[in-house]
Chain A
Amino acid sequence: MTFVRAVAPPLTAIGQIVANARGDPTRLMDVLVAAQAHLGSLADETLAEIATELKIPYVDVVDTASFYAFFSRAPQGRCQIRFSKTPISMMKGALEVVHAFERALGIRIGATSTEGVGLSWTSDIGMADQEPSCLINGMVFTNLEPADAEPIVRELRAMDAAGTLPAFPSYGVRATFASRKAGCASNVVHPGDVLFGPREKGSGLRAALGMTPQGVIDEVTRSGLRGRGGAGFPTGMKWGLTRRAKGDTHYIVCNADEGEPGTFKDRVLLKEACDLVFDGMTIAGYALGARTGLMYLRAEYAFLFGDLQNDLADRRRLGLLGPNAGGHASFDFDIRIQLGAGAYICGEESALLESLEGKRGAPRDRPPYPTDRGYLGQPTAINNVETLACVTRILERGAKWFAGFGTAESKGTKLMCLSGDCAKPGIYEVPFGTTLNELLDLAGGAAAEAVQVSGAAGECVAPKDFGRGLCYEDLSTAGATMVFGPQRNVLEIVLQFAEFFADESCGWCVPCRVGTVLLKESIQTTLNGHSTKDDIIALESLATTVAKFSRCGLGQTAPNPILSTLRNFPQIYESRLVPANAVRIDVERAVEDAASIQRRALLDQVSS
């Protein structure tokens, strides 16, 4: 008699990766991240294998894999160096740093060296207080100078030879670098009372679990807390809507996709006070009747992933997560961190949900709102990192205490991210209502000629408005505060923001997909000194079309830098205009360009 044992065929690498994600197609982001870390890139055959394993159409895998900047379908090197390209990094010398890396590797930016090191630009990586910066396989390097290129490249070569270079994304797997430029500082320059004030760890969560869920929502409502991500929706109302919405289950999502250029407060909160954020998510989970919390962490912050996972593991050990979380019978709650893959649009809450479900980060049409039908079609509250940290403090110290800070419509304090031409860039926690002037004085930025408030999607403000208060009812801001001194060319900054939006448009709707490209070209033309007054009128009209007709907040706010500078800095446009009847082509220049394209010398150059 023979015994035949059924043996499952050995899993392929992709099969194992898909099995780790429990074969769940909504976990496609995790599958793609892991597949790329294992194979280096996402070739068509890999995508086809993933599709087969997940039992979804190949084209759906392509759709997601091709959308995110940090996924590569083409073969790429073992090592990817991505430099942050922002107005701040450029004025701090990013171009010179990149040139030094180009020399050290013998390649141009956008290329990969024969030894497998790739150089590229990427959108703001959340290091505006310590630019120039870059990510190397997910590890962050800051305050870079041209002299850093040689030693860093030398270290990378040695690690590659020794096989100790972590693959992207590192998921918190870190290498130890001798370079002093590895890592980032938190730069909490001005701690305030709410988020960086003295606190008793865990007491907010304990207080919440001693109340009824509705009691927690009422307390948050009484505090007057509004969303810190920019839109300013009342948090208590959002939670009430979510709790009341019918569903099989409810979700709390923490939006840690901090992509707005010039913003870095969430990075600092997650590094310095992640207990406030996780406590806040747990409090929200209890208030909403949720069993699962999801944190969507931008790929640029993958270097925080390991520490955050360790913190979650500690919380499970301490009973703060898991069955009877926080010692509260019948409250089961856990948190999962979803890593993004490089897409500014995923900070938009409905695009974030799509990405969480394994799809491209294209926003959804509303209604239905996420509070009714969010993650996997269930009622979902999506809150900013800073909002959730505030919740924990509100439950610890009470709504009345919290509402004692700020203004009538804007309660509490706000984390402001100062960068650019100021003596002390970093985090400033100030009460709402603080004027821009007061903030600039604190940061040593009194010489500012222009301040970009609330990031690329915000407003470019001139000195005449520096007396305005930072709050929802006046100068509304999510925190980014980029300071530009008199030596800066504001129109160049506008161009960089226009390039940013063209790079980050999701492509779904026409006004944003095409309009952001046309806006960028028009600004470039003006900067080159080839625009007439009629072109500026057309620019304003185009900007209005994009703002009014775009599908989501990205397109609707993309023209803000242009529209606000047309309003507040008309001279930067006027000074470059040419008369309507001017010859707009420089014939000599055109002939020279044509000659260089054809690799011919001009006659007078040949003869001389």
Chain B
Amino acid sequence: MNDRTLRFRIDGVPIDARREQSIIAACDDAGVYIPRLCYRADLPPGGQCRLCTVNVNGRPAAACVTPVTQAAVVENATPALQAHRKALIEMLFVEGNHPCPFCEKSGDCNLQAMGYRFGLSATQFPYQFPRHDIDASHPQIFLDRNTCIQCGLCVRASHADGKSVFAFENRGARQRLVVNSPLGLGATDLDVADKAAAVCPVGCIVVKHTGYEKPYGTRTFDEQSIGSDIESKRIPVPAPKEGHA
């Protein structure tokens, strides 16, 4: 440990981090998984989904936007935090219309996979059944707001592309994804090779003509649970020798 590194503990596990690093990035490097839906290491954080909320020295904070601090005590996988996270996942399921059994993204969908990881079988909340139009105006990309979780990844990715294809309109429960033309996605400069076309974690932004290329049952989360790629990086800590606390 040099003076450029900080050490903190998450659920008792010591983690070394670089200064300015966020808690989630440091934990990803160390193989400790904090659930998330709106964070990607290659884009600036947005803090929308709040799934990565952890207790930092007893206070809740989103791990994606909270920098590590020396000697911080972080709680992550406590039963209470997991219960709140499960509630957030349920909120997303009732807020939109999620036809998992026939959705093109099924098996590759982060929301669905997160539901499985948290053992979600049914939701306790009433469905909101919003009405959304589908935007198929783009020749290569399909936009279906029914499954949008408003994570903002496409907005941030489009900025990274040097464009401004996506943003949000309205506020609160009426907020929805909007595109950079009143005429629809087809009138924007979104290219199928753009990052913004590739980052959607659910079935909202889908590339056309590739549907169901990979059959159900053989997709990413059919093989392994979400987060297991990060957890597999974890170097098991050897059991402390007797006499050493």
Contacts and interface: CB of A to CB of B under 8 A. Distances in A.
A475 interface: no
A507 B49 contact: no
A44 interface: yes
Contacts of A521: 126
Interface in B48-74: 48-51, 53, 60, 62, 65, 67
A544 interface: yes
Nearest to B166: A59
B160 interface: no
A60 B170 CA distance: 12
Contacts of A548: 53, 60, 84
Contacts of A538: 124
Nearest to A51: B180
A518 B173 contact: no
Contacts of B53: 548-549
A521 B94 CA distance: 13
A504 B173 CA distance: 9
A303 to B, nearest CB: 24
A417 B184 CA distance: 48
Contacts of B126: 518, 521
A85 to B, nearest CB: 15
Interface in A464-513: 502-511, 513
A408 interface: no
B150 A513 contact: yes
A510 B84 contact: no
Interface residues of A, number: 42
Interface stretch (A61-69, A203-211, A220-228, A252-260): A61-69
A514 interface: yes
B167 A62 contact: yes
Contact of B50 (A506, A507, A549): A549
Interface in B125-182: 125-126, 128, 149-150, 164-175, 178-182
A509 B91 CA distance: 11
Interface string B87-117: 1100110110000000000000000000000
Contacts, number: 121
Contacts of A59: 164-167, 178-181
A471 B237 CA distance: 50
Contacts of B149: 510
Contacts of A514: 91-92, 94-95, 128, 173
Contact of A502 (B65, B87, B173): B173
A343 interface: yes
Nearest to A69: B171
Contact of A360 (B88, B168, B173): B168
B201 interface: no
- Residue with the greatest number of chain B CB neighbours at <10 A, chosen from A59, A541, A551: A59
Interface size, B (range)? 35 or more
- Residue with the greatest number of chain B CB neighbours at <10 A, chosen from A44, A504, A551: A551
Contacts of A549: 50, 53, 60, 84, 88
Contact of B171 (A45, A505, A510): A505
B86 to A, nearest CB: 9
A545 interface: yes
Contact of B170 (A367, A507, A515, A518): A507
B78 to A, nearest CB: 12
Contacts of A503: 172
Contacts of B125: 518, 542
B94 A58 contact: no
Interface in A527-562: 538, 541-542, 544-545, 548-551
A44 B171 contact: no
A365 B84 contact: no
A516 interface: yes
Contacts of B31: none
Contacts of A544: 84
A106 interface: no
A165 B83 CA distance: 55
B175 A507 contact: yes
Contact of A507 (B150, B167, B178): B150
B179 A518 contact: no
A63 B168 contact: yes
B180 A58 contact: yes
B50 A343 contact: no
A245 interface: no
Interface string A39-52: 00000110010000
Given A60-B164, A63-B178, A505 B60 contact: no
A57 interface: yes
A273 interface: no
Contacts of A506: 171-172, 175
Given A44-B182, A59-B165, A511 B50 contact: yes
9 contacts: A62-B167, A66-B169, A345-B171, A365-B65, A507-B172, A513-B95, A513-B173, A542-B125, A548-B84
Q: Closest 7 interchain pairs by CB?
A: A507-B175, A57-B164, A514-B91, A66-B169, A59-B180, A505-B172, A44-B182
Given A505-B172, A507-B150, A510-B49, 18 more contacts: A59-B164, A60-B167, A62-B167, A62-B169, A67-B170, A506-B171, A507-B168, A507-B170, A509-B47, A509-B49, A510-B51, A510-B88, A510-B149, A511-B91, A514-B91, A518-B91, A538-B124, A549-B84
